Amino acid sequence: MLFQTIPFFIFFAFVFAAYWALQKQLVWQNRLLLLASYVFYGWWDIRFLVLIVGGTAFAYILTPAVAGKDLPRRQLLEGLGLTLAGALVSFLPDVADGWRYLLATLGLMGLATGIVLALDRMADSEQRARLALTIGTIALLCLIGVFKYFNFFADSFVRVAGLFGGDVTWTTANIVLPVGISFFTFQIIGYLVDVRRGDFPPSASVLTFASFVAYFPQLVAGPIERASHLYGQFLKPRRMTAEGLKSGALLFLWGMYKKVVIADNLAPITNDIFGRAGTATTGELLVGILAFAFQIYGDFSGYTDMARGVARMMGFELMLNFKLPYFSRTPSEFWTRWHISLSSWLRDYLYISLGGNRGSTLMTYRNLFLTMLLGGLWHGASWTFVLWGAFHGFILVVYRLADVDRRVMPSVNGWMATNPVVGLAANTVLVSIMFALTLLGWLFFRAPDMATVGHYLAGMISGFDMRADAWGKLAFFTLPLIMVQCWQRWTDKLEFLAQSPPFVRLNLVLFLVFSLVFLSPREASDFIYFAF
Amino acid sequence: MAATLAETGGHDRGQSPRPLWLRLLIITAIFGYALLFGEMFLRMLKPQALIPRYVTAGPEGVRANMPDTVFRQWTPEVDVTLRYNAAGMRDDRPPPPLEKAPGECRIALLGDSYFVGFESRFEDSFAVRLEEELARRGRPCRVLNFAVSGFGHAEMLATLESRVRPWAPDLMLASVHSTDGFDNLRAGLFRPGPQGLEPTGQTFLPGVAISDRLNGFAAYRWAQENSHLYSAGREWAGGMGKQLLSILRVQQANADAGDEPEAAPDAEDNGTETPRYVASQPLNAALIRQLARESEATGARLMLFEIPIAGRRTGYYPIAENLLGAELLAQVPFASPAPAFNAMKAPDVQLYTEKGHKHWTPLGNRVAARVAADAMFAQQLLPAPQSIDASVGSPSSTLPASS
C-alpha cells in the first residue's frame, strides 16, 4: 500500500475516523494503531507479517534480560501469544504451502523460549544483560542477513566457485526481500541497546511495544525512530488539533509532490541514461546523475514527509529525517542533514560501539570509515553500495584530516557575519564541492554494476559534448524544488507551507495540487527505499 | 494550550466564528480563484489539447455531428478549424444533392475521429486526401464523410439506413480502430445471437443530453474551445466514464460467453495482447457482417480500413485481426496502412500527433489515403467509370479559398 495511491487514502480515512472516535480511550486507540499497522504491512505480503511480529515478540521477551531483570511469566506468554497469532494470520490463508513455515515458526518460538528461560536462570545480571543484548542483536541481524544478504553472498559464492570450475548454484535460493525489514530491525536493535545502556526503561506492555515497532507511517521506510522519542507518545493521549491536522496535511502534500511529481518524473531519465551509460554523451551522463540526485531526494524525503504528515494528523511527531542535505558544506554536515535517523543511529549504536573518537586518531578514522562502509551495506547487498559507503567514509576521513570542520567552517561562519558577500561566496564554493562529491557518490549508489560505474566515469571525463534532450525536463521538474529549498534555507523555515502567509499558502497549495493532478505519471511507483 | 479537535469540532477556540454568508463568499472566491489558477497553470506548464466534438443526438438514437457548426481544435501541435456542413459531414463544401449525377462515384466514410479528420485541416484530412488520390488515378469520387467522433461499428450500423443510404454511395469505407471493440460493447445496441445480430437497445447517447444542454450557453462553448482546465476535466471525466462502462459491458459479455472477466484496454496498449479483445470479437464480427449485408442492399460494397495503433514513431501495430478475427478479414475487402507506416518509421517521421489525441498528421492522412486508394483499385471496389463527371473533379479545385 503506497502512500500516494487510492487504497492508502481509503485505508487512512477509515483508520483516522476510528482513531478520532477513540480519542478518549488510549488503549483502544493503540490497539487500533497496531491492527492498522499490521494490515498496512500485511498488504504487501501477508506471509511476511510473521517477521515483524516474531521480531517484536522476541525483543519483548528478551528485554527484561537485557535490562538485567527477571522475565515475568506474563511477558513470556504475551510474546509467545503474539508470535503464534502472527504466524496463524500469516500462514493460514495458504495452509497447503504455509504449514511448513508454521512449524518452523513454532520451532523458533521454542528456541527463543529456551534462550530467554536460560538467560533468566543466570545469576549474574550484568553478564545476563550483555549476553541477552548480544543474542538479540545477532538474531535480528540474522533476520536481515537471511532476507537481504543471502542472495548476494550466495551469488558471489557461485561466481567465485565458477572461476575454479565449480558449480554451486544449488546454494542460491532467490529469497524475496520483505519490505521495511532493515528499518524495523534497526529500530528494535536501537531499543535494546538503549535498554542495555539504561537510557530507556524496558517495556512491560506488549501492546505499546508492538505499536512502537510497527507504527505504520514509518514502518517501511523510516524514520528509524528511537524509543526515547516515539515510545512515550504511545503512553499518553495524543492531542489532535486543527493546527496539527492542517500542518500534517500540508507536510503530506509537499511530500507527495516531491515523490510523485519530482521523483517519478525524473526516474525515466535516470533509468534511460544509466541503461546506456556506455554510449551517452557527457551532457546526458551529467543529466542522468543530476536527475538521480533529485529523484532519490524527492523519493526518500517525500516518503518521510508523508509519513511525518500522516503521523502528525494523528497527534504523533516523528523525527526529522532530511534537512536540506544538498546545502551541506562538508561530509559531516551532509550526514546531519541526509537520512538523519540512520546516520544518527549509526553514530550512536555503531560508531560509538566501535570506540568512536575515544581512541587514537587512526582508530577514529578507522571507525568512521567502517561505520560508513557498513552504512553503505545496510542499503543493500551490492558491491556498488559498499563502494558508496566506502566513498563517503573516505571523504569523511579526508575532510577530517584537513580539519575543515574546525579550521575552515568557523572562518566561513564568521565571514557571513562580517562580510556577507565573501561569506556567501565561500559557502557557495563549499556547497558546490560537496554537491559534486555527493553526485559522485550517487553514481556508485545508482549504478547497477561496477561496469556501469566504469562507463560512466570514462564518459564523464572523456568528452565535452554537453548536449542532452533531457536538460529541459530536468530543469522543469527540479527548478520549483530548488527555489523552495533556497527559500527554506534563507528563511530557515523547513515547513514553509504551514509557515507561509495565507495567500501565499493558498497559491502554493494550488500549485502542488494541480501539479499532482496534471504532472504526475500515470502509474504509481514504489519508493526506492522500500528495496532497502 | 491548544484544544483538541474533539473539543472544538475542528475549529480553534478563541476566534469568533464568521457568519455563514461570509464563509460561503470566501469559499466561492477561493473556488473561483482556484479555477483561474488551474487555467493559468495548465496554459503555462501543461497545455491541454482542446478538442471539442460538437456531437448531438441523431434521430436514430445515436450521436451525430451538429450540422452547420464551425469550431476550432487546438493542441500544442495544431490549430485547425473544422466545419460540419448542413448534413453533419465534416466538409468545407456544402453537401451534394441527394440525387447522383450519371457516372458520379460516391464513397461513404464510416468511422470515428480519425476519419472525421480531427487535428487536421480539411485539405489535409483523410477524406480529401482520398479524393485527391482517386482523382490522380483517373477515378474521381466524392467522399461523403459520415464519421462521428467516438463511433463504433454498432453506431455505424444504426445510422446506415437513415443517414447514409439516401446518398446512394458506391462504396462504404468503414474504419477498424482499437477502440471499436469496447465502443461496440458499451453501446449496448446489439448482441450476437444464434440468428445473427440481435438488437438490445434503442439508444446510445453517452453524455449527449448534458452537452446539448450546456451547449446552449455561450460560456460553455467558449470553454470547450478555449479552456485548458475544462478540457483536462472533461477528458478525465470522459475517460473514467468510458472505462467504467467498458468494464461493466466487458464483464457482461464475458459472462454471456462463460469466460473470466477481462480488463479494459489502456491507451498504451500496442494491440498485441489478443485476449483483451476476445470479449468483443463475436459482436464485432456480427456487426461487420451486418454492415456488409446492409451495404450490399444499398448497392454498395463494404471495405474495411484499419487504423493501426501508434507506438511513438517506433512501430505501428495492427489491430483488426484481434478485433474481427482472421476469417472475417479474409471475406471482407480490407486494407491497412500499418505496413506502409512501418516502412516509413523513423525518428523524424511523424504520422500521428503526439501532443494531442494521437490522430493522423497530414503525412499520416496522405499515406493512409494512398493505401486506401491502392486497395480500392487493386480489389476493384469502385464502379467502372461510365462517364467521368467533370463536376465532381478534384477536391482541391472545389475547396473554398478560406480553408
CA distance B156 to B302: 12
CB contact under 8 A, B4 and A245: no
> Which residues have a Cβ under 8 Å from the Cβ of A195 and sit 6 or more positions away?
A63, A66, A67, A201, A202, A227
Query: How close B34 gets to chain A, by Cα (Å)?
Result: 7
Give the residue on B whose Cα is nearest the Cα of A476: B45
Q: Does B44 touch chain A (CB under 8 A)?
A: no
* Grid cell digits, residue A63: 528485554
Averaged over A151-170, what is the pLDDT? 71
Sheet holding B301-306, edge to edge: B142-145, B106-110, B171-176, B301-306, B334-335
Instruction: Give me the pLDDT at residue A168, please.
Output: 65
- The ipTM is 0.77
| Contact predicate B131/B106, CB 8 Å | no
The single-letter DSSP state of residue B90 is B
Burial class (CB in 10 A: 0-12, 13-18, 19+), A110: exposed
- The CA distance from A51 to A57, in Å, is 10
DSSP assignment string, A223-289: ----HHHHGGGGTS-----HHHHHHHHHHHHHHHIIIIIIIHHHHHHHHHHHHTTTT--HHHHHHHH
B245-253: long-range contacts (C-beta < 8 A, 24 or more apart)?
B245/B186, B245/B206, B246/B182, B246/B185, B246/B186, B248/B186, B249/B182, B249/B185, B249/B186, B249/B188, B250/B182, B250/B185, B250/B279, B250/B280, B252/B185, B253/B185, B253/B279, B253/B280, B253/B283
Q: How confident is the model at residue A468 (pLDDT cuts 50, 70, 90)?
A: confident
CB proximity B29 to A under 8 Å: no
CA distance A376 to chain B (A): 38
Give the separation between CA A123 and CA A15, rounded to whole angstroms.
46
- Shortest distance between the Cα of B39 and any Cα of chain A, in A, equals 10
Provide the mean pLDDT of chain B: 85
Which helix (H) or strand (E) segment holds residue B66: the answer is none
- CA nearest neighbour of A229 among A253, A205, A255, A199: A199
Q: Phi, psi at residue A415, to the nearest 5°?
A: -60, -40
Residues A360-393: pLDDT tens digits?
A: 888 899 999 999 998 888 887 788 888 999 999 9
Q: Which of A244, A245, A510 sits opposite B37 (nearest CB)?
A: A510
Nearest to A241 among B5, B33, B42 (CB): B5
Cβ within 8 Å, pair B11-A242: yes
Task: Could you list the beta-strand ranges (E) of B284-378.
Answer: 301-306, 309-310, 316-317, 334-335
Q: Are A441 and A392 spatial neighbours (Cβ–Cβ below 8 Å)?
A: yes
Q: Which residues in chain B have Cβ-Cβ distances shorter than 8 Å to A514? A: 37-38, 41-42
B10, B34, B232 ranked by CB distance to A242: nearest = B10
Residue A441 has pLDDT above 60, yes or no: yes
Say whether residue B240 is in contact with chain A using an 8 A CB cutoff.
Answer: no
Q: How far apart are CA B132 and CA B393, in angstroms?
A: 9
Q: Which one of A518, A522, A523 would you mutate to disrupt binding with B, by most B Cβ within 10 Å of its Cβ?
A: A518
> Is pLDDT larger for residue A61 or for residue B194?
A61
Residues of B in contact with A476 (CB under 8 A): 45
Dump the DSSP string for B224-241: HHH-HHHHHHHHHHHHHH
A99-103, B221-225, B260-264, B316-320: least confident range: B260-264
- Residue B251 confidence (pLDDT): 65
| Predicted pLDDT at B168 | 93
B31 touches chain A (CB under 8 A): no
- Mean pLDDT value across chain A: 89
Q: Which residue of B has its CA nearest to A514?
A: B38
Give the gap in angstroms from C-alpha A279 to the nearest C-alpha of chain B: 18
> Residue B269 pLDDT more than 80?
no
Instruction: Give the C-alpha separation, A3 to A41, whole Å.
Output: 12
Q: C-alpha grid cell for residue B382?
A: 469502385
Nearest C-alpha in B relative to A314:
B5
The domain ranges of chain A are 26-238, 239-322+469-532, 326-446
Cβ separation B2–A510 shorter than 8 A: no
Contacts of B46 in chain A (CB under 8 A): 518-519
**Chain B contacts of A511, Cβ < 8 Å?**
37, 41
Whether A453 contacts A441, CB under 8 Å = no
pLDDT of residue B265: 43
Cβ contact, residue pair A24, B6, below 8 Å: yes
pLDDT tens digits for range B270-284: 444 444 566 788 999
Q: Would you call B3 and A241 a contact, using CB atoms and an 8 Å cutoff? A: yes
| Chain A closest-CA separation from residue B348 CA (Å) | 15
Do residues B335 and B302 make contact, with C-beta atoms less than 8 angstroms apart? no
pLDDT of residue B314 exceeding 80: yes
User: Annotated catalytic sites of A, by residue?
Assistant: 379
The answer to whether B75 touches B356, Cβ cutoff 8 Å, is: yes
The separation between the first and the last C-alpha atoms of chain B, rounded to the nearest angstrom, is 72
B4, B30, B46 ranked by CB distance to A241: nearest: B4
B1 to chain A, closest Cα gap in Å: 10
Nearest CB to B12 within list A239, A242, A511: A242
* Smallest Cα distance from B238 to chain A, Å: 16
Q: What whole-number distance in Å separates Cα of residue B153 and Cα of residue B177?
A: 10
SS (H, E, C) A308-371: HHHHHHCCCCCCCCCCCHHHCCCHHHHCCCCCHHHHHHHHHHHHCCCCCCCCCHHHHHHHHHHH
Please name which of B209, B220, B234 lies closest in space to residue B56, comparing C-alpha atoms.
B209
Residue with cell 549509526: A346
CB contact under 8 A, A519 and B2: no
Contact residues, chain B, for A243 at CB < 8 Å: 2, 12
The answer, for B12 touching chain A at a CB cutoff of 8 Å, is yes
For the stretch B377-392, pLDDT in tens is 999 999 877 644 444 4
Phi, psi for B174 (deg, rounded to 5):
-105, 135
pLDDT at B18 over 90: no
What are the residues whose beta carbons fall under 8 Å from the beta carbon of A313, sequence distance 6 or more? A16, A240, A244, A245, A248, A249, A252
Picking from B72, B57, B59, B182, the residue whose alpha carbon sits closest to that of residue B118 is: B72
Query: How many contacts, defined by CB atoms under 8 Å, are there between A and B?
Result: 50
The strand pairing partners of A275, in sequence order, are none
The residues, any chain, with a CB within 8 Å of residue A190's CB and separated by 6 or more, are A224, A226, A227, A345, A348, A349
The span from the CA of B161 to the CA of A482, in Å, is: 63
> Are the Cβ atoms of B4 and A243 closer than 8 angstroms?
no
Give CA–CA dist B185/B284, Å, rounded: 9
The confidence band for A487, taking pLDDT boundaries of 50, 70 and 90, is very high
- What's the whole-number mean pLDDT along residues A177-184? 82
Rounded average pLDDT over B136-146: 95
Are A514 and B38 an interchain contact pair (Cβ–Cβ within 8 Å)? yes
The burial class, CB within 10 Å (0-12 / 13-18 / 19+), for A101 is middle
Decide: residue B270, CB within 10 A, 0-12 exposed, 13-18 middle, 19+ buried. Answer: middle
All three cell numbers of A148? 537481504
> Is pLDDT at A353 greater than 50 in this prediction?
yes
Q: What domains, with CATH codes, occur in chain B?
A: 56-383 (3.40.50.1110)
Per-residue DSSP letters for A110-171?
HHHHHHHHHHHH-S-HHHHHHHHHHHHHHHHHHHHIIIIIHHHHHHHHHHHHHHTT---GGG
Tell me how far apart the alpha carbons of residues A439 and A295 are, in angstroms, rounded to a whole number.
12
Query: CA-nearest residue of chain B to A22?
Result: B6
Cell numbers placing B47 = 497545455
Task: Of B150, B165, B58, B198, give the one whose Cα is nearest residue B359.
Answer: B150
Decide if B45 and A519 are in contact by the 8 Å CB cutoff.
yes
Interface of A with B (CB under 8 A): 20, 23-24, 239-245, 476, 506-507, 510-511, 514-515, 518-519
Which of helix, strand or coil describes residue B191?
Answer: strand
DSSP-derived pairing of the beta strands B196-199 and B190-193: antiparallel
**Cβ atoms B113, B174 nearer than 8 A:** no
